[in-house]
Amino acid sequence: MQSGATLIDGNAIATTMRAELAAEITALKKNGVTPGLAVVLVGDNPASQVYVRMKGKACEEAGFYHETIKLRKETSEAELIALIERLNADSRIHGILVQLPLPAQIDTNRALHRIDPRKDVDGFHPENVGKVALGDPTGFRPATPYGVQQLLIRTGVETSGKHAVVLGRSNIVGRPMAALLLQNGPGGNATVTVCHSRTRSIGAITCQADILIVAIGKPQFVTGDMVKPGAVVIDVGINRIQDTTSERGYRLAGDVAFDEVSKKASAITPVPGGVGPMTIAMLMANTVKAARQSL
């Protein structure tokens, strides 16, 4: 793929960040604390199984104590909450992650809100949402937007005074991403516009963006004519697209039409290998932070 844009290598930056965490993990262990992460998977969603396996592997490589708890898809809400309460009380566990999506019989918000905010390394509990919005450093930033912010900082992308446009308003990416970009500090101080399914003339707005962050779950939605020349484009999406030329019968694509957008952008993340590795690195960072704050 020929590209006029600089490729933002999430794999390389995530590897650097995980190496930086290693020193802090060693220091914590000297104080008798091994960071501990519990990942809970309900059901047999194939994508979720892949993500959970990757998180477990990352924990092993980092030297964490970790538990992967798999529950049948018929698990009741009461059973899941009972497990969460057990993990809340377990001193070996500093971070609890319930893999989404959950089966229909479980109210996602009710389950996530039962996680102890001090162990909510996904940053979805209302207490952490509030802390992030207020810029309280003790709060946990959701891993994906936190990873995007680190990509911008570590590739030298200036955010201060720039117009950042976020496509998507989910509680997992869009809203917290906007909050982080607005904050006073590195990777912040931007002027932020959030677009969503009811936004009119989206292309006219995205063309104004110095920094365009796309998280809407629609493959190759953002095309070259929607991007300002020289913009920085961060593609959070990951979608399976049918591809008869591939051995697997599909290929992975982002929410951005990479080939045409990369000819106009100054820098762009690939899919895969962009935001994905950063999400796991920031989950590790949040778990180490939770362990540190438990002391």
Tens of pLDDT, residue by residue, the chain (295 residues): 444 899 999 999 999 999 999 999 999 999 999 999 999 999 998 888 988 999 999 999 999 999 999 999 999 999 999 999 999 999 999 999 999 999 999 999 999 999 999 999 999 999 999 999 999 999 999 999 999 999 999 999 999 999 999 999 999 999 999 999 999 999 999 999 999 999 999 999 999 999 999 999 999 999 999 999 999 999 999 888 888 888 888 888 899 999 999 999 999 999 999 999 999 999 999 999 999 999 8
Catalytic residue (one of 120, 122, 210, 235): 122
99 included as an active-site residue: yes
Query: pTM for this structure?
Result: 0.94
- Residue 30, exposed/middle/buried by CB under 10 A (0-12, 13-18, 19+)? exposed
Closest CA to 143 of 115, 164, 120: 120
> First and final CA of the chain: distance in angstroms?
48
Q: Are 178 and 207 in contact (CB under 8 A)?
A: no
DSSP 4: S
243 included as an active-site residue: no
Catalytic residue (one of 2, 29, 30, 55): 55
Residues 13 and 34: their CA atoms lie apart, in Å, by 24
- Residue 217 backbone class (left: φ over 0; alpha: ψ -120 to 50; beta: rest): left
10 Å Cβ neighbour count for 154?
A: 17
How far is CA 263 from its chain centroid? 26
CA distances 117 to 1, 73, 170, 179, Å, are 43, 25, 20, 19
119 included as an active-site residue: no
214 DSSP β-pair partners: 167, 235
